[in-house]
């Protein structure tokens, strides 16, 4: 087996977004594309003598990309790579393996909730030794390296057998193929009261888990059906497929419509949940009630102490800026700190490492804790199950009880997809230019109290991330946030985040879109969404 050095040249556009580099699969499969980016990763983080974790969500090209990355790791002098069997690992399981084995980081092959397949999306990201996504300074350094590369290194070798658990050699490098589920399932068992959840299932509690033909299938079957005794068949779409069965593996009411229909229909189970392509997102639904991610974060924060791993209480709660302020109210009542970060799980890493926060969450269906450094879909679903088992109440009773105590932050996100990039940029530029003059403006019977472009100073390392979203606040506590997505692969996606607080006791039980209608109208008027983008209505509403 000999090491080959291949001449290459920089490929434009290899700039990681919100969560790693995501492109159309044919782009990733193009000449040198994957190799250039992986070499940039290795050059940035250093490879000689190091141990990494490797796995992905099993989407199309995952298996072949894994072999390339292994050959490149060996040629660049890595000592050992721990790979999930079949090159598969959910993102939270990869984060756990990085931490458990005290490795030097890991490469995750995933485009998360984006569709997969020969014409869909693929992605690669690097996670640090703490198990979390590389921070901006590191991804910027990787990007810079992609602009100056002239060569990459790769071993001339046959494929490693990734289908069998065990140890293999690749040149001088060791490849350990591990069961992707076992360590993760053990971690969950250490955090939650499996005995109480098992008793709840034994007493007839019914659940539907939609794994959306994505990576969580085997994890959910092992944990829910085998370890916790949920009825066989509780997990649907449980076989991971390279194209996710043609589905869009994004657990929201639009894409997880089968689950929504079941949970809102006759004879619905007690609890429903779904997870995404790589297993870090979650959606939870009760019988007849959808729980928004922002509310889910707040309910979990308020009840975490009921679960085995969190009895000592929380150190703090962190949320991304566009996420509703519902969790801030919980933190205030618990007398703990709350943090507001830019969108992107990577911004929670420092807060978790420093012990400032225990639970984090995002409106984009992400919730997690300091047990790993990624958001974790099954973790959130298990915490809900644990809370349901201890409280013995329905999801609806718990959520409505929460609103009665804290008030309700009506919340919704409207996505306008596949807009021509220049149109979206022009809209954001116009909005930014108007910020200084917005205060005092009256729209839809509301008055703007202030507007800015969110800038974040990390309280741990002092790094500054600017231009993280335009927010417009109103005197009645309502809020509109505008951002362009950093995870799309086609044109631009405009995200408009809408929020309105109602303290109660009246007006807590309205339909969210209806309650938000003046805020929605104001959002269109203020930004000229139709004039700039030609879109009258959002493509996805969550
Ligand atoms: C990623 C990030 C999340 C972020 C989400 C949406 O999630 O890890 O922190 O909230 O994208 O980001 P954007 O609004 O920029 O599209 P995932 O599940 O795609 O890895």
Percent of residues, the chain, with pLDDT higher than 70: 100
Tens-place pLDDT, residues 492-513: 999 999 999 999 899 999 999 9
The residue to mutate among 244, 249, 345, having the most atoms of ligand 1 within 8 angstroms of its beta carbon, is 345
Instruction: Indicate if the pLDDT at residue 93 is higher than 90.
Output: yes
Residue 325 contacts residue 499 (beta carbons within 8 Å) = yes
Tell me the sheet residues that pair with 123.
22
- One domain, residues 439 and 500: yes
- One domain, residues 83 and 223: no
Instruction: Indicate if the pLDDT at residue 100 is higher than 90.
Output: yes
Interval between CA 362 and ligand 1 midpoint (Å): 9
Confidence of residue 1 (pLDDT cuts 50, 70, 90): confident
CA-to-CA distance for 401 and 397, rounded, in angstroms? 6
Confidence of residue 465 (pLDDT cuts 50, 70, 90): very high
Confidence of residue 18 (pLDDT cuts 50, 70, 90): confident
Residue of minimum CA distance from atom 2 in ligand 1:
344
- One domain, residues 372 and 441: no
H helices within 30-150, ranges in order?
33-45, 62-75, 91-100, 136-146
Residue 385 contacts residue 192 (beta carbons within 8 Å) = yes
- One domain, residues 236 and 338: yes
Interval between CA 487 and ligand 1 midpoint (Å): 6
For the segment 302-329, the average pLDDT, to the nearest whole number, is: 97
Tens-place pLDDT, residues 261-282: 999 999 999 999 999 999 999 9
CATH of the domain at 464: 3.30.310.50
Cis peptide before 126 (omega within 30 of 0): no
Residue of minimum CA distance from atom 1 in ligand 1:
19
Interval between CA 133 and ligand 1 midpoint (Å): 11
Instruction: Indicate if the pLDDT at residue 157 is higher than 80.
Output: yes
- One domain, residues 142 and 234: no
Helix (H, G, I), strand (E, B) or coil at 367: strand
CA-to-CA distance for 402 and 409, rounded, in angstroms? 11
For the segment 460-466, the average pLDDT, to the nearest whole number, is: 92
Give residue 500's domain range.
408-541
The predicted pLDDT at position 486 comes to 83
The predicted pLDDT at position 398 comes to 98
Q: Of all atoms in ligand 1, which is nearest to the CA of residue 493?
A: 16
CATH of the domain at 188: 3.40.120.10
For the segment 345-367, the average pLDDT, to the nearest whole number, is: 95
Instruction: Indicate if the pLDDT at residue 111 is higher than 90.
Output: yes
Tens-place pLDDT, residues 408-456: 999 999 999 999 999 999 999 999 999 999 999 999 999 999 999 999 9
Domain termination residue (choose one: 148, 178, 208):
178
Q: Which of 314, 304, 320, 330 is nearest to 382 (CA)?
A: 304
Domain termination residue (choose one: 178, 210, 230):
178
Helix (H, G, I), strand (E, B) or coil at 183: helix
Interval between CA 177 and ligand 1 midpoint (Å): 29
Residues with CB under 6 A from ligand 1: 18-19, 112-113, 276, 280-281, 343-345, 362, 364, 366, 485-487, 495
The predicted pLDDT at position 364 comes to 94
- One domain, residues 192 and 296: yes
Instruction: Indicate if the pLDDT at residue 284 is higher than 80.
Output: yes
Q: Which of 471, 440, 294, 280 is nearest to 376 (CA)?
A: 280
Confidence of residue 489 (pLDDT cuts 50, 70, 90): confident
How many domains are there within the chain?
3
- One domain, residues 326 and 375: yes
- One domain, residues 362 and 304: yes
Domain termination residue (choose one: 178, 199, 222):
178
The predicted pLDDT at position 375 comes to 97
166 Cβ contact partners less than 8 Å away, ≥ 6 residues apart: 176, 177
- One domain, residues 483 and 535: yes
The residue to mutate among 59, 132, 294, 344, having the most atoms of ligand 1 within 8 angstroms of its beta carbon, is 344
- One domain, residues 196 and 57: no
Confidence of residue 376 (pLDDT cuts 50, 70, 90): very high
Q: What is the mean pLDDT of the chain?
A: 96
Instruction: Indicate if the pLDDT at residue 344 is higher than 80.
Output: yes
Q: Of all atoms in ligand 1, which is nearest to the CA of residue 280?
A: 18
Interval between CA 208 and ligand 1 midpoint (Å): 25
| DSSP-derived pairing of the beta strands 21-24 and 121-127 | antiparallel
The residue to mutate among 125, 255, 366, having the most atoms of ligand 1 within 8 angstroms of its beta carbon, is 366
Confidence of residue 126 (pLDDT cuts 50, 70, 90): very high
Residue 204: exposed, middle, or buried by beta-carbon count in 10 A (0-12, 13-18, 19+)? exposed
- One domain, residues 193 and 108: no
Tens-place pLDDT, residues 191-221: 999 999 999 999 999 999 999 999 999 999 9
Q: Which residue has the tokens 């984006």?
A: 114
CA-to-CA distance for 14 and 144, rounded, in angstroms? 9
The predicted pLDDT at position 467 comes to 93
Residue of minimum CA distance from atom 3 in ligand 1:
344
Residue of minimum CA distance from atom 13 in ligand 1:
485
Question: Computed from CA positions of residues 223, 226, 231, 232, in that sequence, does the dihedral angle turn out positive or negative?
Answer: positive
Catalytic residues: 112
- One domain, residues 442 and 400: no
Interval between CA 230 and ligand 1 midpoint (Å): 30
């Amino acid at each position: 087996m000999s090491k080959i050095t291949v001449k290459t040249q920089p490929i434009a556009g290899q700039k990681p977004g919100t969560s790693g580099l995501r492109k159309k699969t044919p782009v990733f499969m193009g000449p040198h594309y994957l190799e250039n980016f992986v070499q940039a990763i290795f050059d940035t983080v250093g490879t000689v003598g190091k141990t990494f974790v490797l796995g992905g969500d099993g989407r199309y090209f995952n298996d072949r990309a894994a072999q390339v990355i292994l050959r490149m790791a060996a040629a660049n002098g890595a000592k050992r790579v721990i790979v999930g069997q079949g090159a598969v690992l959910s993102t939270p399981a990869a984060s756990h393996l990085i931490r458990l084995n005290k490795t030097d980081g890991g490469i995750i092959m995933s485009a998360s909730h984006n569709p997969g397949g020969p014409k869909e999306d693929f992605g690669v990201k690097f996670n640090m030794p703490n198990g979390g996504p590389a921070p901006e300074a590191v991804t910027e350094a990787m990007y810079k390296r992609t602009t100056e590369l002239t060569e990459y290194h790769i071993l001339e070798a046959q494929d490693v057998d990734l289908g069998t658990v065990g140890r293999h050699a690749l040149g001088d490098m060791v490849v350990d193929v591990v069961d992707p589920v076992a360590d993760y399932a053990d971690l969950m068992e250490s955090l939650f009261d499996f005995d109480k959840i098992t008793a709840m299932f034994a007493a007839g509690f019914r659940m539907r888990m939609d794994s959306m033909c994505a990576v969580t299938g085997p994890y959910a079957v092992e944990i829910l059906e085998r370890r916790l005794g949920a009825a066989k068949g509780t997990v649907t779409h449980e076989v991971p497929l390279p194209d996710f069965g043609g589905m869009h593996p994004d657990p929201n009411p639009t894409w997880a419509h089968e689950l929504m229909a079941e949970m809102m229909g006759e004879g619905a189970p007690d609890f429903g949940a779904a997870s995404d392509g790589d297993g870090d997102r979650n959606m939870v639904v009760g019988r007849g009630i959808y729980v928004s991610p922002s509310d889910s974060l707040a309910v979990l924060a308020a009840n975490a102490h009921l679960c085995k791993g969190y009895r000592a209480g929380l150190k703090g709660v962190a949320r991304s800026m566009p996420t509703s302020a519902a969790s801030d109210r919980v933190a205030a009542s618990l007398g703990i700190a709350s943090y507001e970060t830019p969108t992107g799980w990577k911004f929670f890493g420092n807060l978790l490492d420093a012990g400032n926060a225990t639970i984090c969450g995002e409106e984009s269906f992400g919730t997690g804790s300091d047990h790993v450094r990624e958001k974790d879909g099954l973790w959130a679903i298990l915490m809900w199950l644990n809370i349901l088992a201890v409280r013995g109440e329905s999801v609806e009773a718990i959520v409505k009880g929460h609103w009665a105590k804290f008030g309700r932050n009506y919340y919704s996100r409207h996505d306008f997809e596949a807009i021509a990039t220049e149109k979206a940029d022009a809209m954001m530029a116009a909005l930014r230019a108007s910020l200084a003059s917005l205060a005092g403006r009256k729209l839809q019977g509301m008055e703007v109290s202030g507007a800015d472009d969110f800038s974040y100073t990390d309280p741990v390392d002092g790094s500054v991330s600017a231009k993280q979203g335009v927010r417009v606040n109103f005197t009645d506590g309502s809020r509109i946030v505008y951002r362009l997505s950093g995870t799309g692969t086609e044109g631009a996606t405009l995200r408009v985040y809408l929020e309105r607080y109602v303290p109660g006791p009246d007006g807590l039980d309205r339909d969210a879109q209806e309650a938000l209608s003046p805020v929605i109208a104001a959002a269109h008027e203020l930004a000229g969404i139709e004039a700039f983008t030609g879109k009258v209505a959002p493509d996805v509403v969550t």
